[in-house]
Structure 1
Amino acid sequence: MEEAGQSSHKPSLAKLKLPPPAPFLGLDELSKWPLYRATITEFVATLLFLYVTVATVIGYRHQSDPKVFPESSQCGSVGVLGIAWAFGGMIFVLVYCTAGISGGHINPAVTFGLLVGRKVPLIRALFYMLAQITGAICGAGLVKGFQKELFNRYGGATNTVNSEYSRGTALGAEIIGTFILVFTVFSATDEKRRARDSHVPILAPLPIGFSVFVVHLATIPITGTGINPARSLGAAVMYNKDKPWDDQWIFWVGPLIGAALAAIYHEHILKASVLKAMGSFKRNSVANGM
């Protein structure tokens, strides 16, 4: 029974045809509706993401402000844990809702990582990034429009480097945090795992959202957690003060480096190692007459 099970499993892996790398430019997509539908999806998803998460941060800072609620404590607000859940939960929900249309990127760093990994062409990546940035600005703008006084009082939920940490530490935190996120995206959408385990495509949004959650727990004290250049830029544009702009480069350079490293690690180290190991196994099998 065991041998039969193994023999039935091997052909499926042997016959698995991995999709070719995405074309570099992808100019032919400009004449097709799916590109524009996916771009609109990324815009709306990023808008919703910023609206919920920025509103959560503003609400937390207001509820935990001793000047407003002198008798309250941290238990009277969602706390840092609640903020992390808001970010991770929204990514889980939005990836689940949009993965079948746009891939559920909702983050220029994710899009950049997939571009480096040859999963999306350049034209689609540029369209996505523009949609994500404009969506983020609109999402943060909605929060400011509804709660202008609180938005301005509590810093617009912008990402800045905590004064207790150096910018080098903040940059490292953004690189590592984004590496974890993008590495999770590649692992959760890996073609071989999808073919081997039918539940993987269904559960893919869960580990992606959970990676955002745990990274926020680790890096909120350092930078407020960026790992998403659109999220950082959208809040900074609406708040428009010196400190968020002075630190803004960290929330672009760090995530883009982390995303590129994750793509290279997954696509050219892990997957290449697997292919070499499989080739070595096949050669040994032939040599041993198996």
Structure 2
Amino acid sequence: MAATKSVKLLTAACLAEFLAMLLFVVFACGTAMGIDGNRASQTSSGGTGDSSETGMTSKLPSWIIMLSLAFGLTITVLVYSTAHISGGHVNCAVTWGLVLTGNCPIIEGVAYFFSQMLGSLCGAFILLAIYPASMDMTKGVGSNGLAEGWYTGNALLGEIMGTFLLMMAVLQTACNPDSASIRAQAPVAIGFAVFMAHAVLLPIDGCSINPTRSFGPAVAAKIRYGGESEAFKSMWIFWVGPIIGASLAALVYKVFRALADTPATGKGQLEENEVADQATV
């Protein structure tokens, strides 16, 4: 089991989680606010025809790649920047998975959760000051929501799978004792996992895989747009899906460790104050 930090170190870790979550919302969700993700606005460059007139010029519009990169790269930067202080969770679903596997003490996990939630709120409020309502292309401060034509089951299963991929990357690259030799590259693997999850889920629900990321922008959207905002309409999906996904990944990790006949935590766990501490995102 991971040892609980001293009050001084825990304070520093909570501050790191708060700041990382704030920056994640500002730069990742902020990128979404400046991009027109409407498929109908994308037309082909030459001539006319069915695809040009409907705007359906690609099965994977460029805005999806742009946003996926923004979220993946932002997480990579923040994990590298805070892993030696807090472990670089930046996601309450990841914190939950680390608690389940014994890589994060419960008290520490609770403190991280509130720090992340506060960071998400502050980041979203900063976005309200950066982007006036008329310039917000998402019309929701980058909050998540079920897109037209998709069903609740599509989004829920997608969130479970996306978070499973992320949590698996965290546990196997940043926590597994047998992956100590690649520990410094863990944030890159985590960033790629976030990128891939967004590539699949952006057209469906805007991709959460991070309940804390969804919460702040939803509150800000409700404040700005009032009754017009549907930011909380499907909010349960962005909590239940990631929690289930992280829990399943934690279970699979424990099964692998049991089959390897070694503890779920141990000599390979990241040391405090190293570039890739316990686990990330």
The answer as to 2:198 corresponding to 1:212 is no
Q: Is the 8 Å Cα contact of residues 62 and 154 (structure 1) preserved in structure 2?
A: no
Is this contact kept in 1: 2:158–2:201, CA < 8 A? yes
Aligned counterpart, 1:179: 164
What is the CA-CA distance between 1:153 and the residue it aligns to?
6.5
Where in structure 2 are the equivalents of 1:152-171 lying within 5 Å? 154-171=139-156
Bigger helix fraction: 1
1:270 aligns with 2:260: no
Structure 2: where are the runs of 5+ without partners? Answer: 42-54, 223-227, 263-281
Task: Give the TM-score normalised by the residue count of structure 1.
Answer: 0.77
CA–CA distance in structure 2, aligned partners of residues 272 and 142 of structure 1:
45
Q: Is the 8 A contact 1:61 1:154 kept in 2?
A: no
Instruction: Provide the alpha-carbon RMSD of the alignment.
Output: 2.6
Looking at structure 2, the residues matched to 148 and 187 of structure 1 have their Cα atoms a distance apart, in angstroms, of 42
| CA 1:220–1:119: 2 relative to 1, 3 Å | same
Counterpart CA distance in 1 for 2:175 and 2:12 is 24
Identity of aligned pairs, percent? Answer: 36
Write the deviation string for residues 205-254 of structure 1: whole angstroms up to 9, x where unpaired.
10000000011001111111000001111110000154221100100011
Match of 2:26 among 51, 66, 86: 51
- When normalised by structure 2's length, the TM-score is 0.80
What is the CA-CA distance between 1:61 and the residue it aligns to?
A: 2.1
Alignment match, 1:7: none
- Specify whether residues 63 and 175 from structure 1 end up closer, same or farther in structure 2 by C-alpha distance, changes over 3 A only: closer
1:22 aligned onto 2:5:
no
Q: Please give the alpha-carbon distance, in whole angstroms, between the structure 2 residues aligned to 1:227 and 1:85.
A: 15
**1:132 match:** 116
**Alpha-carbon separation, structure 2, partners of 1:274 and 1:105:** 26
Asked whether the equivalents of residues 37 and 63 of structure 2 are also in contact (C-alpha less than 8 Å), the reply is no
State the secondary structure of the residue aligned to 1:245: coil
For each residue in 1:97-121, what CA deviation from the matched residue of structure 2 results, as whole angstroms up to 9, or x when unmatched?
Answer: 1111100000000000001111111
Aligned runs of 1:59-208 on 2, under 5 Å? Answer: 59-61=34-36, 79-149=63-133, 150-151=135-136, 154-195=139-180, 197=181, 200-208=182-190
- 2:16 is matched with 41
* Alignment deviations for residues 144-202 of structure 1 (CA, whole Å, 9 cap, x no partner): 1111222386221110012211111211111111000001000011342344x2xx121
User: What is the DSSP-based 3-state SS (H/G/I as helix, E as strand, rest coil) of the residue aligned with 1:239?
Assistant: helix
Distance verdict in 2 for CA 1:152–1:239, change over 3 Å: farther
Residues 176 and 63 of structure 1: CA distance in aligned 2, closer, same or farther (over 3 Å):
closer
The letter of the residue matching 2:115 is A
Number of residue pairs the alignment of both structures matches: 243
Letter in 2 for 1:222: I
Which structure's CA Rg is the greater one? 1
Hey, which bits of structure 1, 4+ residues long, moved more than 4 A?
A: 62-66
Letter in 2 for 1:178: T
The residue number in structure 1 matching 2:49 is: none
Bigger RCO (CA 8 Å, 6+ sep):
2
Asked if 1 retains the 8 angstrom alpha-carbon contact of 2:140 and 2:218, the reply is: no
Structure 2 contact 218–232 (Cα < 8 Å) conserved = yes
